[in-house]
Amino acid sequence: MSTSKQQPLLEVRNLRVEFPTRRGSLIAVDGVSMEIAPGEVLGVVGESGAGKSMTGNAVIGLLPSPGRVESGEILLEGERIDNLPYEQMRKIRGKRIGAIFQDPLTSLNPLYTVGEQLVETIQTHLDLSEKGAKDRAVDLLEEVGIPSARERIDHYPHQFSGGMRQRVVIALALCAEPRLIIADEPTTALDVSIQAQIITLIKKLCREHGTAVMLVTHDMGVIAETADRVAVMYAGRIAEIGPVAEVVKNANHPYTHGLMGSIPKVGHEVERLTQIDGSMPRLTEIPTGCAFNPRCTEKGPRCMVERPILEPVENSFVACWKFDPEGTGA
């Protein structure tokens, strides 16, 4: 699928994440497949509840209970990691896969200094002395752009501002130089100006360390700027995945198309924004066929009964019968 020939760093195949509830199973992620190459930024976008975070959580093996990977495979550098025992998976987390979560305010333990949390993480994964770990912590803080890091390392999280805290969180994710970073909405809680700083930082890391990033967000702007490729998720499924320019500018899937149209753009004078009527179905009430069919303006009879599969369309892959060669779509 990927245009690159080398072995993908992360490969997700047919991932299905379920939450058993009393009213039957809730399928949060349904048959998702994707790959990320080293140094690549894969953006994952979609509405709230589309299953973006659960995909990311499944990769680092931290699905909130009672969620579980029902089927599918997750491979990191060709090695299967979705079925590892807890202790082995723990050793991968932080070491080979780093994670950044949405809210920098709550991601740090308020009772420990930033330094303590860094040193603790470094020592978990790297064989360093207390002092070595501390030096590395200072380096990391400097790297993510925290001025006078040597002093600030002994401060508590509440003594940092939001943007600084998010940088600390990134530093923590970088402790052991992981090959892959799962960044779940790393900028949503931040102001626009700081958002730009963080995005720049992430991009710099990819460039300089060759780290691959799975960037989960619902902000198309951030994706457009940062990602190489983008996956659009809808109701637990991937609607479209492809190079960012193509998806943003030339959306193929009706949902992506609508999504792009609904984003107000500076300088584009429109009286009304494109609007997708209705809302994403609850995951317990996904209609048969294409999950998007109740809102789709181009749906055909097949969309109501049969679930579309990802098919290549130009440089992307799109899950829509519209592009089915048999032409049973619209």
Partner 1 sequence: MIALIIRRSYQSVVVMLVVALLAFTMFRYVGDPVSMMVGQDTSLEQREAMRVSLGLKDPVPVQFARFVMNTAQGEFGISYQLGRPVAEILSERVPATLELSLVAALFAMLVGIPMGVYTALHPQKWLSKAFLTISLVGISLPTFLIGILLILFFGVLLNWLPTFGRGEVVMLGGWSTGFLSGSGVKSLLMPAFTLGMFQLTLIMRLVRSEMMEVLLTDYIKFARARGLSNKAVNFGHALKNTLVPVITITGLQIGNIVAFATITESVFQWPGVGLMFIQAIGLVDIPIMSAYLVLVALFFVIINLIVDILYHVVDPRLRVDGSGAHG
Partner 2 sequence: MTEPLVKAKGIARYFDVSPPLLNRLIEGSKRQVVKAVDGVDFEIERGQTLSLVGESGCGKSTIARLVVGLYEPTGGSIEFEGVDLTALDNRKEEAKLRGRMQMIFQDPYASLNPRWRVQDIVAEPIRHKKMFDTRAEVTSRVGELLSQVGLSPADGEKYPHEFSGGQRQRISIARALASNPEFLVCDEPTSALDVSVQAQILNLMKDLQRKFGLTYLFISHDLAVVDHVSDRIGVMYLGRICELADTRELFSNPRHPYSRFLLDAIPDLDMTGKQRIPVAGEVPSPINPPSGCTFHPRCPFANDRCKSEQPELRDVDGTQVACHGVEENRLEPTG
Return the one option of partner 2, ligand ATP, Mg ion, none that residue 283 interacts with (CB less than 5 to 8 A, by type).
ligand ATP
Instruction: Tell me: does residue 53 bind Mg ion (CB under 5 A).
Output: yes
Instruction: Tell me: does residue 218 bind ligand ATP (CB under 6 A).
Output: yes
Instruction: Tell me: does residue 15 bind ligand ATP (CB under 6 A).
Output: no
Stretch that binds Mg ion, among 38-46, 49-57, 162-170, 226-234 (CB under 5 A): 49-57
CB contact at 8 A, 177 and 92: no
CB contact at 8 A, 231 and 241: yes
Residue found under tokens 């600084």: 164
Return the one option of partner 1, Mg ion, partner 2, none that residue 106 interacts with (CB less than 5 to 8 A, by type).
partner 1
- Cα 120 to chain center, whole Å? 26
Site for ligand ATP in 61-90 (CB under 6 A): 64, 67
CB contact at 8 A, 55 and 235: no
User: For ligand ATP, which is the closer residue by CB, 54 or 171?
Assistant: 54
| Distance, CA of 263 to CA of 273 (rounded, Å) | 7
Q: Where are the alpha helices (DSSP H) in the chain?
A: 52-60, 86-92, 104-107, 114-125, 130-143, 149-152, 162-174, 192-209, 220-226, 244-249, 254-261, 301-305
* Residue positions counted in the chain: 330
User: For partner 1, which is the closer residue by CB, 58 or 280?
Assistant: 58
Question: What single DSSP character describes residue 78?
Answer: T
Instruction: Tell me: does residue 182 bind ligand ATP (CB under 6 A).
Output: no
Stretch that binds ligand ATP, among 46-54, 168-176, 196-204, 258-266 (CB under 6 A): 46-54
What is the end-to-end Cα distance of the chain in Å, rounded?
26
Give the largest CA-CA distance in the chain: 67
Site for partner 1 in 90-119 (CB under 8 A): 90-95, 98-99, 101, 103, 106-113
Stretch that binds ligand ATP, among 44-52, 86-94, 196-204, 285-293 (CB under 6 A): 44-52
Instruction: Tell me: does residue 49 bind ligand ATP (CB under 6 A).
Output: yes
Count of chain residues binding Mg ion (CB under 5 A): 1
| Distance, CA of 87 to CA of 14 (rounded, Å) | 25
- Cα 151 to chain center, whole Å? 33
Question: What single DSSP character describes residue 322?
Answer: G
Question: C-beta of 227: minimal distance to partner 2 in Å?
Answer: 11
User: For partner 2, which is the closer residue by CB, 164 or 180?
Assistant: 164
Binding interface with partner 1 (CB under 8 A): 60, 62, 64, 86, 90-95, 98-99, 101, 103, 106-113, 120-121, 124-125, 151-152, 155-156, 158-161, 164, 169, 172-173, 175-176
Q: Where on the chain is the footprint of ligand ATP (CB under 6 A)?
A: 19, 26, 28, 46, 48-54, 64, 67, 218, 283
